Amino acid sequence: MDYMLNMVRRHKAGEAVGIHAVCSAHPIVLEAAMEVTLAAGPAQPVLIEATSNQVNQDGGYTGMTPSAFRDFVYAIADRVGLARERVLLGGDHLGPNAWQGEHADMAMAKAEVLIEQYVTAGFRKIHLDCSMSCVGDPVPLQDDVVAARAARLCAVAERAWQAAGGEAPVYVVGTEVPVPGGAHEDLAELSVTTPAAATQTIAAHRAAFAAAGLDAAWPRVVGLVVQPGVEFDHHKVIDFRPERAVDLGRMIEDVPTLVYEAHSTDYQTAANLAALVAGHFAILKVGPGATFALRETLWALADIEAAMAGDGKGSGFKDTVLDVMGAEPAQWQKYYDNEPRRARFDQQYSLSDRIRYYWPHPAIQAAQARLLDSLERTPPPLTLLSQYLPFQYDAVREGRLNNQPVDLLKEGVARVLRQYMAACMAGAATKELEAC
DSSP track, 17-83: --EEEE----HHHHHHHHHHHHHH-TT--EEEEEETTTBSTT-GGGTB-HHHHHHHHHHHHHHHT--
Tell me the C-alpha distance between 435 and 41, whole Å.
12
- What are the backbone angles phi and psi of residue 201, rounded to the nearest 5°? -65, -45
pTM assigned to the model: 0.94
CA 9 to chain centre: 23
Domain 292-411 bears CATH identifier 1.10.400.20:
yes
**Per-residue pLDDT, 176:** 66
Answer yes or no: is pLDDT of 275 > 60: yes
Mean pLDDT, rounded, for 249-265:
97
CB atoms inside a 10 Å sphere around CB 370: 16
Answer yes or no: is pLDDT of 371 > 80: yes
Strand ranges for 78-159 from DSSP E: 87-94, 125-128
**Per-residue pLDDT, 180:** 44
Mean pLDDT, rounded, for 212-225:
98
Mean pLDDT, rounded, for 307-317:
84
**C-alpha Rg value of the chain to the nearest Å:** 22
What distances in angstroms separate CA 57 from CA 27, 62, 96, 152, one per listed residue? 21, 11, 12, 19
Tell me the C-alpha distance between 415 and 382, whole Å.
19
pLDDT digits (tens, 9 = 90+) for 411-432: 999 999 999 999 999 743 444 4
Tell me the C-alpha distance between 169 and 162, whole Å.
10
**Per-residue pLDDT, 190:** 84
**Per-residue pLDDT, 181:** 45
pLDDT digits (tens, 9 = 90+) for 74-104: 999 999 999 999 999 999 999 999 999 999 9
**Per-residue pLDDT, 409:** 98
Mean pLDDT, rounded, for 30-42:
97
Mean pLDDT, rounded, for 32-40:
98
> 399 and 328 in contact (C-beta within 8 Å)?
no
**Per-residue pLDDT, 312:** 63
pLDDT digits (tens, 9 = 90+) for 318-349: 999 999 999 999 999 999 998 999 999 999 99
**Per-residue pLDDT, 435:** 41
Tell me the C-alpha distance between 226 and 210, whole Å.
22
Q: If you ran DSSP here, which 8-state letter would residue 134 be given?
A: -
**Per-residue pLDDT, 113:** 98
Answer yes or no: is pLDDT of 1 > 90: no
CATH 1.10.400.20 residue ranges for the chain: 292-411
Q: Which residues of 310-327 are buried (b: 16+ CB within 10 A; e: fewer)?
A: eeeebbebbebbbebbee
Answer yes or no: is pLDDT of 169 > 50: yes
User: Which percentage of the chain shows pLDDT scores above 90?
Assistant: 91
CATH 3.20.20.70 residue ranges for the chain: 2-289+417-429
Which amino acid is present at 434?
E
The residues with which 283 forms a beta bridge, in sequence order, are 19, 261
CATH class of 2-289+417-429: alpha beta
Q: 311: pLDDT confidence band, cut at 50, 70 and 90?
A: confident
